[in-house]
């Protein structure tokens, strides 16, 4: 298990799987977009997700990761994901059998 120092005592850091990170640019003021996408993913995958983190960044970054895998990069795709396609990307990796209802087609 990973440890972080806290003075002279080490604290255990528990990581719940799967973990999604949304890294967003603070200079571009993309916090609201990142938070909305996080809320959508947490609502859709409430039984499947272990953790979702918002990670502030700079330089126009907007990336979504599951563990170490980047599943969306604004730099690579040249745009933000539609929430429907983001949910499908997440579903395909963490809950392939899950029906997304109206987000399915």
Q: Render pLDDT for 2-53 as a digit per residue (tens, 0 to 9).
A: 555 555 555 555 556 899 999 999 999 999 999 999 999 999 999 999 999 9
Average confidence score pLDDT of the chain? 89
**What would the CATH number be for the domain defined by 20-30+50-81?**
3.40.30.10
Q: Is residue 93's pLDDT more than 80?
A: yes
Residue spans per domain, the chain: 20-30+50-81
Q: Is residue 68's pLDDT more than 70?
A: yes
Whether 84 contacts 103, CB under 8 Å: yes
The pLDDT of residue 1: 45
Q: How far apart are CA 98 and CA 13, in angstroms?
A: 30
The pLDDT of residue 16: 64
As a residue count, the chain comes to 105
SS3 18: coil
Q: Is residue 75's pLDDT more than 60?
A: yes
Whether 91 contacts 98, CB under 8 Å: yes
């Amino acid at each position: 298990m990973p440890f972080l120092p806290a003075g002279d005592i080490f604290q255990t850091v528990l990581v719940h799987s799967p973990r999604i990170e949304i890294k967003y640019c603070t200079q571009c003021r993309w916090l609201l977009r990142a938070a909305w996408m996080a809320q959508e993913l947490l609502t859709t995958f409430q039984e499947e997700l272990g953790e979702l983190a918002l990670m502030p960044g700079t330089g126009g970054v907007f990336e979504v990761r599951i563990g170490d895998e980047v599943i969306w990069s604004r730099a690579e795709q040249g745009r933000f994901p539609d929430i429907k396609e983001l949910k499908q990307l997440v579903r395909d990796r963490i809950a392939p059998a899950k029906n997304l209802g109206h987000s399915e087609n």
